[in-house]
Chains A and B, each alone.
Chain A
Amino acid sequence: MTNGASERAEPFDGPSHFVRALWGFEVRVRALPRAAEEFSPRRPRFAGPNLWLPSSPLAGVPGSFSDYLFAACAHISAHLRFGAPRFEIKSLKPVGIALVSLLEDARVERLAIAHYPGLESLWAPYHRARPEGVKTSRALFARLARALHDDTYLDDDAWVIKGRQLFWEARNEWHDPSSCRRIGSALANDLGQMRLQFNAKDYAVEPAYRDDNSGLWHFESESAGNDPQLELEAVRRVEGDAAAAPQRQRGMPEAMPALAAGASERSAALRLATDVDTPPSARHPEWDYVIQRERPAFCSVFERPVAPEASTRLASMPARDTAAGKRLTRSALRLANRHPQRIRRLLDGDRLDLTATVATVVARQSGVQLDPRVYVRLRLRVEPPALLLLLDLSESLNATLSRAGVTLLELARDAATLLASSLAAIASDVAIHGFSSNGRHEVGYYRFKDFDDPYDEQTLARLAGMRAHLSTRLGAALRHAGQVLLERKARRKLLLVLTDGEPSDIDVHDPKYLLLDAKQATNGNHRSGLVSFCLGLDATAERSVARIFGAGNYLLLTQLEELPRKLAAVYLRLSA
């Protein structure tokens, strides 16, 4: 029924769906960065809606790893749902921080269980502390955690009993996290009087599904001096994130060594060369809303070659996204095989055409000439639409996404590559083009993959050579792409546009001008039978995108990481 976690590219998809189902908000789940993975014992971690979970089972944790991930996610989501802004450390010592966190863990879990009673059994297997053994602070913490979670658990330790009692006495204040701070400080005090050592260095939150508490506290650089261990943790976190990015690049090219070196310089040189001598590939009109008229042959579009570049990152990309890719291929295949077509009036076929048979019998009765073609045959029509994916390659695509260190351009390129690779098996009618402009005399148009190009290393190398610069003269590009697409023979033709905002160019200062021109271009494409759809990378640009493409013909992404999947989904939806 289910594949092993290793087979899936995204083992954390399930947990994030789970959180969405429980509470209706989004979380981003990723593997703990390498540095934190090596740190033992490992614990989940969160900062706002970003979750980091271990990527392999923890030693000594019962049950399946998948169950563990769900339990951890459920716990963190309870923090997100019922927690308050991060606690201030103020004068708290490490032991106090640990205890307040422990009580806060219990508090948010209690509130979550009130909504979803079954969560209790989800967490219960991990509470395995028993009222026996040496009473170290670490053991007592685990016993207290269990006592607060499990009402049937019996413990004879006075400190644990007191903790449980204080927690329950405050049950009317459970909505208020400050109750945890009060009880936690009191318990920390008692622990000090019991002369029990608390060593922040080897302390690990128990049970293991709970996060390491770093997401609960506000560390300021001044105040963090109070707690060297937690400060160290925070540093590790930052380092870990930074380390995660280059990790992907590791294992440099084996394929195409000839292309590897110097390719980027060459491509830059190619692009910067202006086309003074060469005539433009096409001149397109432009709509001027002020005079309500098209200016004929106003924009010059230059089709320029793309300098290929080696990229193992792209080559391995489809493998990384296998789950999404496979799903896409499968759905596209199903799609292609649908739509039965009836061929009527055949001399021989699968079944009788009732109407034709009746007519023949009537004809025989009345003695006129018979038409013996009374059979009908069903044929499955295999005809996916021709798809042109048009990428806006203006300078703004070089913007880096907040945390992941990926640029919009890389994201768009990955999405395009995934689509091309997934559809390669069934449809050759897929093209990936891009454009950027430098005034109306110089609109650059690039074909990374043309309709009949196979999906091979050369295509990949061209995709890897994608660069973003200059501006967005969308209208001219839409007209040009429309023309290219119209030459295809396919019955249905899709123009999918990927852009990050409103059209703009250096020689235009009226923001309405290019917007209305692009709208005019889309209308023109629509009239000639193209279906246009826009994927917007900037959720704030809704007004302009809606204006250009019309209601229902666009999708704005709020979670940019979802682009590859959304792109595939849009393709499937429009092809159905």
Chain B
Amino acid sequence: MSEGSIDAYRIRQEPYYRPQGNEISLFEAAYGARLPVMLKGPTGCGKTRFVEHMAWRLRRPLIVVACNEEMSASDLLGRYLLEGGGTRWQDGPLTIAARFGAICYLDEVVEARQDTLVVIHPLTDDRRLLSLPAKSETLVAHPEFLLVVSHNPGYQSALKDLKPSTKQRFGAIAFDYPARELELEILVHETALPPDLGERLVSMAEAARRLKGHGIEEGVSTRMLVHAGSLIRRGVSVEAACQMALVQPLTDDPDLILALNSTVRACL
């Protein structure tokens, strides 16, 4: 891969992000110190959007990796491919980011197996090295390189957690669903919904979040609200949009569905 093709990972337009607190200045400071960052928070509260926004703001390319259990170290580092009569090395996403100075974002990092994640260790302390044993190369990370990971502490099981040795390499920023006014502002910005309708959707989300831990693993996220809003903008009735975007994706339990339907009715 050449220096030029990293441009494909650049973010051209400013992604909308409404700060909830001082997370932008915290991230900038961490970037200045090249301190790896961990974003913690429930699903759909804006972690990924925040990283996109920060990559745009810091003018760094962004490489996103969605982690899963099947992922192996070579999926991150790279591998040999067959080409013609011989083989060719292809960098993995982490290697590309370290080589060309991008921000590498490992989404839902606990989903990756712990032994896979060990490859990031030398990269995340002051050595900033990435070792590629298959290629017999030790790569010194580009000065602009930064590693960001996200993780959702809410529904992780007691057995599925990061090793302390991995966790402690990061500075962490905690996210939560935005406060009422902020969430309304975000919803109205993203969907151009009339504010009074937006307000009712936000009330609905707040009500559904009270059911967390009572059969619902995670409450209605801001993302789900945006989904409902965009359905409404496309002419779907408010009730049907709430059904499709808020109620049905949240649970399969018939009692909870009834309760959520009534909550939707009560809010509208």
Which residues of chain A have a CB within 8 Å of any CB of chain B?
A: 1-3, 8, 10, 13-18, 20-22, 24, 66, 70, 74, 115-119, 121-122, 323, 327, 339-340, 354-355, 357-358, 361-362, 365, 492, 531, 533, 552-553, 573-576
Contact of B265 among A10, A122, A362, A553 (CB under 8 A): A122
A362 vs B82: C-alpha distance when bound (angstroms): 9
Contacts of A15 in B (CB 8 A): 259
A492 vs B264: C-alpha distance when bound (angstroms): 42
Task: Report the minimum CB–CB distance from B229 to chain A (whole Å).
Answer: 18
In the complex the two chains form, is B254's CB within 8 Å of A1's CB? yes
Contact of B254 among A2, A18, A354 (CB under 8 A): A2
A575 vs B86: C-alpha distance when bound (angstroms): 46
A2 vs B243: C-alpha distance when bound (angstroms): 14
Give a binary string over B224-268; 1 marks a CB under 8 Å from any A CB, 0 the rest. Answer: 000000000000000000000000000001111111101111111
**B259 nearest in chain A by CB position:** A17
In the complex the two chains form, is A10's CB within 8 Å of B255's CB? yes
Contact of B69 among A2, A115, A119, A339 (CB under 8 A): A339
**A357 nearest in chain B by CB position:** B82
**A562 nearest in chain B by CB position:** B214
Is B211 interfacial (CB-CB < 8 Å)? yes
In the complex the two chains form, is B82's CB within 8 Å of A8's CB? no
A22 vs B207: C-alpha distance when bound (angstroms): 5
Known: A70-B258, A357-B82, A365-B86. A21 touches B263 (CB 8 A): yes
**A576 nearest in chain B by CB position:** B157
Is B19 interfacial (CB-CB < 8 Å)? no
In the complex the two chains form, is B79's CB within 8 Å of A531's CB? no
Is B165 interfacial (CB-CB < 8 Å)? no
In the complex the two chains form, is A3's CB within 8 Å of B214's CB? no
In the complex the two chains form, is A121's CB within 8 Å of B265's CB? yes
In the complex the two chains form, is A8's CB within 8 Å of B266's CB? no
In the complex the two chains form, is B257's CB within 8 Å of A362's CB? no
Is B21 interfacial (CB-CB < 8 Å)? no
Known: A361-B82, A365-B85. A14 touches B159 (CB 8 A): no
Which of A16, A358, A531 is most buried by chain B, counting CB atoms within 10 A of its CB?
Answer: A358
In the complex the two chains form, is A21's CB within 8 Å of B255's CB? no
Known: A22-B266, A355-B79, A574-B157. A14 touches B211 (CB 8 A): no
Task: Report the minimum CB–CB distance from B166 to chain A (whole Å).
Answer: 18
Contacts of A327 in B (CB 8 A): 253
Give a binary string over B62-91; 1 marks a CB under 8 Å from any A CB, 0 the rest. Answer: 000000011000100001111001110000
In the complex the two chains form, is B87's CB within 8 Å of A24's CB? no
Is B215 interfacial (CB-CB < 8 Å)? yes
Task: Report the minimum CB–CB distance from B102 to chain A (whole Å).
Answer: 25
Which of A13, A16, A340, A574 is most buried by chain B, counting CB atoms within 10 A of its CB?
Answer: A13
Is B210 interfacial (CB-CB < 8 Å)? yes
Known: A21-B263, A361-B87. A1 touches B257 (CB 8 A): yes
Contacts of A552 in B (CB 8 A): 158
Contacts of B262 in A (CB 8 A): 14, 18, 70, 74, 122
**B208 nearest in chain A by CB position:** A21
Task: Report the minimum CB–CB distance from B111 to chain A (whole Å).
Answer: 12
Contacts of B210 in A (CB 8 A): 20-21, 24
Is B116 interfacial (CB-CB < 8 Å)? no
Contact of A8 among B87, B254, B265 (CB under 8 A): B254
**B85 nearest in chain A by CB position:** A365
Is B48 interfacial (CB-CB < 8 Å)? no
In the complex the two chains form, is B268's CB within 8 Å of A354's CB? no
What are 13 A-B pairs with beta-carbon distances under 8 A? Answer: A1-B257, A13-B256, A14-B255, A14-B258, A15-B259, A18-B259, A70-B262, A327-B253, A358-B82, A361-B82, A365-B85, A365-B86, A492-B159
In the complex the two chains form, is A2's CB within 8 Å of B267's CB? no
In the complex the two chains form, is A118's CB within 8 Å of B267's CB? yes
Known: A15-B259, A357-B82. A21 touches B207 (CB 8 A): yes
A3 vs B256: C-alpha distance when bound (angstroms): 12
In the complex the two chains form, is B211's CB within 8 Å of A358's CB? no
Which B135-167 residues have C-beta < 8 A from chain A? 157-160
Known: A355-B74, A358-B87. A20 touches B214 (CB 8 A): yes
Is B191 interfacial (CB-CB < 8 Å)? no
A66 vs B203: C-alpha distance when bound (angstroms): 23
**A339 nearest in chain B by CB position:** B69
Since A117-B200, A365-B86 are in contact, a sample of 16 more A-B pairs with Cβ atoms closer than 8 Å, ordered by chain A residue number, is A14-B262, A18-B259, A20-B211, A20-B214, A21-B210, A21-B260, A22-B207, A22-B266, A117-B268, A122-B265, A340-B69, A355-B79, A531-B158, A574-B158, A575-B157, A576-B159
In the complex the two chains form, is B255's CB within 8 Å of A8's CB? yes
Contacts of B80 in A (CB 8 A): 355, 358, 362
Give a binary string over B191-234; 1 marks a CB under 8 Å from any A CB, 0 the rest. Answer: 00000000010010001101100110000000000000000000
Contact of B158 among A10, A354, A533 (CB under 8 A): A533
A110 vs B56: C-alpha distance when bound (angstroms): 49
Which of B86, B203, B257, B262 is most buried by chain A, counting CB atoms within 10 A of its CB?
Answer: B262
